[in-house]
Amino acid sequence: MEAWSFPAAYDETYFPPHDARYWFPRRETMPAGERERAILERLQQVCAYAYERAPFYRRKWDEAGFHPSKLKSLEDFELIPVVEKKDLREAQTRTPPFGDYLCVPESEVFHIHGTSGTTGRPTAFAIGRNDWRTIANAHARIMWGMGLRPGDTICVAAIFSLYMGSWGALAGAERLGAKCFPFGAGAPGMSARCAQWLDMIKPTAFYGTPTYALHLAQVARDEGLNPRDFQIRIMFFSGEPGASIPGVRDKIEEIYGAKVFDSGSMAEISPWMNVAGSAQTSGMLCWQDVVYTEICDPKTMRRVPYGQRGTPVYTHLERTSQPMIRLVSGDLSLWTNDENPCGRTYPRLPHGIFGRIDDMFTIRGENVYPSEIDAALNELPNYGGEHRIVISREFAMDELLLRVETDDETFHRPQARDGFAAEVAHKLQKVLGLRTRVEIVGPNSIPRTDFKARRVIDDRAVFRDMQQQIEGVQG
């Protein structure tokens, strides 16, 4: 296959013909069975490499009775114990700062990224210089598949900090030979300036989160700008569900007049664009020769058949610095292995990633994912763009309350506001099979974020306050 080795060694001057659909035609369109045989050989190399260099893997696999020499099939690979995020945190506590799964000398670390650590010890990502170039090459190749080309202008509108998403998108854009427009996000007033610059620069593409794209559109309108005048042709997103959800995707495409692409697995798995759509194929392709993806039963961690749901489990095929081998994501998705319109022979996540399994909550016996509510609301024409989900288990039965913004005209007309509340309740009854109490609030009354949206509140005091407000209005 084209330029497929371990460790990776890419020609930094290589570009396909400008009108080519594929960056690497052989790798992207080869028979799936042939690719799986090649992946098995690579997995044998990666496992032997990690066993030799990383006490983390050697200890974990010895305890499980696994040795790389026993890896004879992909079915054997499914028996390797998975790695969880807590394992990585414990490894870095034991061997700070990068853990005993770092497989290169610290002197070879080129970039340090990581998690915020808001819920515990942050996890540090140590990325070697060669790995950084490998990430850039993989992202450039996948962005090519979306239709981006050298000379296009790409606005990276995500926080430039430890967050890997913005830097990964920027590295790919640079390798692609694009004009890089790293605007960032997060500082007060930044969104208004971003809208002004987009109107001036007219970039080809935009990267961020779906939530931020919707927020930015409203800020642009407040500044007297029309997002369609930005002339953005391609918008690709990561960081949260949304870009594969029809209600959200269609709304963004309508607002900007652009084509939306979903992408992104986990920061630990960078190149995180290893699952991403293409110009002809919706959902997310599993670019299996970049990162080997399995959709697994959350209990057994064995692959589920195509057409079924499970949690993605990822394995690096090119990373040498902190290789992840069977890292379980904790997300939920469904995979298929049907023919793809783009001609690539990868499995696909047709609905993207639904959300994290631990984000799911249960109301009166029904499993609910926040992304389902997000999708339902975005299909309503008077939805104001933001909401909060409030859960209570204080009473005899679970209760679900929804605080929903509406547009200014609807909010200031009591009859229209009540009608919208009834419409929201009816929509969620249809989608979720649940009775939901709804509070309608005015536009921009719920705080926005420049990053990932956090919309679920499991707070009994908040529930009581909202209950009283609703009863007061209805009384």
- Is residue 188 domain-shared with residue 271, that is, in the same domain? yes
Distances (CA, A) of 190 to 158, 159, 210, 223, 352: 11, 11, 17, 13, 29
Query: Looking at residue 469, what is its pLDDT?
Result: 57
Q: The domain spanning residue 370 has which CATH number?
A: 3.30.300.30
- Is residue 432 domain-shared with residue 302, that is, in the same domain? no
Query: Looking at residue 313, what is its pLDDT?
Result: 98
Name the maximum alpha-carbon separation found in the chain: 72
Are the CB atoms for 216 and 193 separated by under 8 Å?
no
Question: Residue 57's domain spans which residues?
Answer: 1-354
> How many other CB atoms are found less than 10 A from the CB of residue 185?
21
Query: Looking at residue 429, what is its pLDDT?
Result: 87
| Three-state secondary structure of the chain | CCCCCCCCCCCCCCCCCCCCCCCCHHHHHCCHHHHHHHHHHHHHHHHHHHHHHCHHHHHHHHHHCCCHHHCCCHHHHCCCCCECHHHHHHHHHHCCCCCCCCCCCHHHEEEEEECCCCCCCCCEEEEEHHHHHHHHHHHHHHHHHHCCCCCCEEEECCCCCCCHHHHHHHHHHHHHCCEEECCCCCCCCHHHHHHHHHHHHCCCEEEECHHHHHHHHHHHHHCCCCHHHHCCCEEEECCCCCCCCHHHHHHHHHHHCCEEEEECCCHHHCCHHHEECCCCCCCEEECCCCEEEEEECCCCCCECCCCCEEEEEEEECCCCCCCCCCEECCEEEECECCCCCCCCCCCEECCCEEEEHHHCEEECCEEECHHHHHHHHHCCCCEEEEEEEEEECCCCCCEEEEEEEECHHHHCCHHHHHHHHHHHHHHHHHHHCCCCEEEEECCCCCCCCCCCCCCEEECHHHHHHHHHHHHHHHC
* pLDDT, average across residues 219-236: 97
For residue 245, the one-letter residue type is I
Q: Give the pLDDT band (50/70/90) at residue 458.
A: low
- Is residue 437 domain-shared with residue 470, that is, in the same domain? yes
- Is residue 284 domain-shared with residue 405, that is, in the same domain? no
How far is 145 from 57, CA to CA, in rounded Å?
A: 34
> How many other CB atoms are found less than 10 A from the CB of residue 429?
12
- Is residue 305 domain-shared with residue 409, that is, in the same domain? no
Is the bond preceding 227 in cis, omega lying within 30 degrees of 0? Answer: no
- Is residue 86 domain-shared with residue 110, that is, in the same domain? yes
Percent of the chain with pLDDT over 90: 72
- Is residue 268 domain-shared with residue 393, that is, in the same domain? no
* pLDDT, average across residues 283-296: 98
- Is residue 245 domain-shared with residue 392, that is, in the same domain? no
Query: Looking at residue 398, what is its pLDDT?
Result: 66
Q: Which of 360, 334, 323 is nearest to 125 (CA)?
A: 323
Question: How many domains does the chain fold into?
Answer: 2
Q: Give the pLDDT band (50/70/90) at residue 122.
A: confident
Distances (CA, A) of 86 to 313, 355, 415: 15, 19, 51
Out of 354, 372, 389, a domain closes at 354
Are the CB atoms for 387 and 446 separated by under 8 Å?
yes
More confident residue, 318 or 470: 318
Residue matched to tokens 């990561």:
238
Is the bond preceding 97 in cis, omega lying within 30 degrees of 0? Answer: yes
Query: Looking at residue 39, what is its pLDDT?
Result: 98
In degrees, rounded to 5, the angle at the alpha carbon of residue 169 between the alpha carbons of residues 168 and 172 is 85
- Structure token digits, residue 459: 């707070």
Residue 461 has pLDDT above 50, yes or no: no
Q: Which of 80-89, 154-163, 393-402 is modeled with the greatest confidence? A: 80-89
How far is 84 from 8, CA to CA, in rounded Å?
A: 26
Are the CB atoms for 274 and 314 separated by under 8 Å?
yes
Residue 221 has pLDDT above 90, yes or no: yes
- Is residue 378 domain-shared with residue 245, that is, in the same domain? no
- Is residue 169 domain-shared with residue 196, that is, in the same domain? yes
- Is residue 322 domain-shared with residue 371, that is, in the same domain? no
Q: The domain spanning residue 215 has which CATH number?
A: 3.40.50.12780
* Beta-strand pair 284-286/348-349: antiparallel
Query: Looking at residue 73, what is its pLDDT?
Result: 98
Out of 299, 324, 354, a domain closes at 354
Query: Looking at residue 460, what is its pLDDT?
Result: 41
Over residues 365-383, the pLDDT tens digits come to 667 778 788 888 988 999 9
How far is 238 from 452, CA to CA, in rounded Å?
A: 9
Query: Looking at residue 314, what is its pLDDT?
Result: 98
* pLDDT, average across residues 297-305: 96
Out of 336, 354, 372, a domain closes at 354
- Is residue 267 domain-shared with residue 385, that is, in the same domain? no
Query: Looking at residue 465, what is its pLDDT?
Result: 56
Q: Give the pLDDT band (50/70/90) at residue 459.
A: low
More confident residue, 242 or 474: 242
Residue 393 has pLDDT above 70, yes or no: no
Q: Give the pLDDT band (50/70/90) at residue 118.
A: very low
Over residues 431-451, the pLDDT tens digits come to 888 888 899 999 988 887 665
How far is 29 from 339, CA to CA, in rounded Å?
A: 11
Mean pLDDT, the chain, rounded, equals: 90
More confident residue, 71 or 354: 71
* pLDDT, average across residues 398-403: 82
Is the bond preceding 271 in cis, omega lying within 30 degrees of 0? Answer: yes
